[in-house]
């Protein structure tokens, strides 16, 4: 069971985990925008409310970089773990 089913599902498990992590980053940034802290809070409190566009842009780019790193890493790992020839 583990030899067959787990080998078949490894690639899809990595893809689903990648999507979940990206959703988690988006949700934590939105939670930070309403006061939970983190990059969302920094972008709103220091960037938007104080009219400091540089802080807003940097916080946005950091979130985008995190998402890009997770997406590229997840796609690469899923491609390695996929046993089918693409």
Tell me how many domains the chain contains. 1
Give the range of the structural domain holding residue 33, as residue numbers without chain letter.
2-81
Q: Is residue 86 part of a domain?
A: no
pLDDT digits (tens, 9 = 90+) for 11-58: 999 999 999 999 999 999 999 888 888 889 999 999 999 999 999 999
Q: Would 22 be classed as within a structural domain?
A: yes
Q: Which of 54, 17, 60 is nearest to 38 (CA)?
A: 60
Rounded CA-CA distance 18/16 in Å is: 5
d(CA 76, CA 86) in angstroms, rounded, equals 13
Closest Cα to residue 44, out of 22, 25, 34? 34
Tens-place pLDDT, residues 63-80: 999 999 999 999 999 999
User: What Å distances lie between residue 40 and 25, 32, 55, 74, CA to CA?
Assistant: 10, 4, 11, 24
pTM, whole model, 2 decimals?
A: 0.85
């Amino acid at each position: 069971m583990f030899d067959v089913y787990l080998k078949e599902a490894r690639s899809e498990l990595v893809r689903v985990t990648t999507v979940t992590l990206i959703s988690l980053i988006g949700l934590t940034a939105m939670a930070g925008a309403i006061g939970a802290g983190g990059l969302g809070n920094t972008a709103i409190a220091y960037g938007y409310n104080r009219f400091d566009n540089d802080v807003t842009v940097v916080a946005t780019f950091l979130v985008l970089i995190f998402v890009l790193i997770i997406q590229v890493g997840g796609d690469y790992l899923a491609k390695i773990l996929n046993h089918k020839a693409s």
